[in-house]
Structures are given as C-alpha cells and as structure tokens.
Amino acid sequence: MARALARPAAGGGMLPWLGLALILFVADQLTKVLILGWYGLGDSTYVAPFFNIVRVHNTGAAFSFLASASGWQRWLFTGIGVAATLFILWMLRTHPGQKLFSFALACILGGAVGNVVDRLLHGYVVDFLQFHWRGWYFPAFNIADAAITVGAACLILDEVLRVRRSR
C-alpha cells in the first residue's frame, strides 16, 4: 500500500512541469529582451492610472534587498538561485503526481532560472512592471518575479489543503 502511494501518477512524470517552467522562462526572457531593446534605464510608459512599464535594474533581491552592496550579492543570489533550481528539480522528480505542489515548483523554477540568467548576463535583474496608486509605487518587478510569487502562494495553498486533508 505504501509503495502504491509513493509511486508518481501516470501521465508524463516531471516533463509537463519542466515544460511549464520553460514557458515561463521564455516569456520572462523575451519580455526582458524587448524592454532592453526599447527602453533606456529609467524610461517609463504610462499604460493605465495604476500601471506603468518602466526599465529598472535590480542588483539586489526582492524589493531591492542588498541592492546597494558592493557587488558580492550578485554571486550570492546567483548561488541561491542555482541551489534552488537543483532542489526543485529533485522535488519535481520525486513528486510529479502532486499537481498543485508541482505546479508551484514549476512556477518557482521558471522564475528562478530567469532571474539567474539575468544576473549572469547583466549583473542585475531587469524589472519593468510597475503598479502604483495615489502616489504609492510598488517596486517594479518582472515575469520571473510574478511566477515565483504565484508559485509561493500555491505552495502555501498546497500545504493548507494537505493539512486539512490529514484531519
């Protein structure tokens, strides 16, 4: 019985999840190439009363954490991204049948790889989505950041549902 529960569900194993991660990665990198090609650093386009497209370079992590450090943070965050990628690949390999969990990991994987590629190519992450309201501006972010955020939210939801099922 325990062996049957541990066996991944039929239907492609981790390949569909890697496909989702690849789609997110490609969307992230394509949008960043467009921003780098069309916008200078700091250029902005008004889209709606609450949204702008703006080119920003983030040398730090979320919310520009450690952005003003002397440069070592590039390698720290790259290393964290690579370690997270390896861990996520292992988790996807061992749990491909857990749909919400694997969806969450695939989102985080696609986003993490997208931001690692930016750090390796440019030394910073290209951010361009900027939401604002009545003079308050949320820090600019990108498709990779959005994918990581959706993935993290889905991980929390998966855990809440798992705990409820075990009661």
Q: pLDDT by residue (tens digit) across 27-58?
A: 999 999 999 999 999 999 999 999 999 999 98
Is residue 104 situated within a structural domain?
A: yes
Which residues fall within 8 angstroms of residue 6, CB to CB, at 6 or more apart?
none
Domain-embedded: residue 105:
yes
> Which residue bears the tokens 């529960």?
5
DSSP string, 102-134: HHHHHHHHHHHHHHHHHHHHHSSEEEEEEEEET
Surface-to-core class of residue 22, CB atoms within 10 Å of its CB (0-12 exposed, 13-18 middle, 19+ buried):
middle
Q: Is residue 3 part of a domain?
A: no
Q: Does residue 148 fall inside a structural domain?
A: yes
pLDDT at 80: 80
The answer to whether 143 and 27 are in contact (CB under 8 A) is: yes
At residue 97, the pLDDT reads 87
Among 17-21, 64-68, 137-141, the range scoring the smallest mean pLDDT is: 64-68
Task: Read off the pLDDT of residues 87-111 as tens digits, 9 standing for 90 and up.
Answer: 999 999 998 889 999 999 999 999 9
Q: Residue 93's domain spans which residues?
A: 13-40+54-166
What is the CA 128 to chain-centroid distance, rounded? Answer: 14
* Among 28, 118, 127, 158, the one annotated catalytic: 127
For residue 155, being part of any structural domain is answered with yes
The band of 79, judged by pLDDT with boundaries at 50, 70 and 90, is confident
Predicted confidence (pLDDT) at residue 2 exceeds the cutoff of 70: no
Structurally, how many domains does the chain consist of?
1
Could you tell me how far CA 12 lies from the centroid of its own chain? 23
Q: Among this protein's residues, is 118 annotated catalytic?
A: no
154 lies in some domain:
yes
Most confident of 93-97, 125-129, 160-164: 125-129
Catalytic, 28? Answer no
Mean of pLDDT values over 63-86: 69
Residue 48 lies in a domain: no
In this prediction, residue 160 has a pLDDT band, given cuts at 50, 70 and 90, of: very high
The one catalytic residue among 28, 43, 118, 145: 145
For 96: left if phi > 0, alpha if psi spans -120 to 50, otherwise beta; the answer is alpha
Q: What was the pLDDT predicted at 29?
A: 98
pLDDT(76) > 80: no
Whether residue 27 is contained in a domain is answered as yes
Counting residues of the chain whose pLDDT is more than 70, the rounded percentage is 83
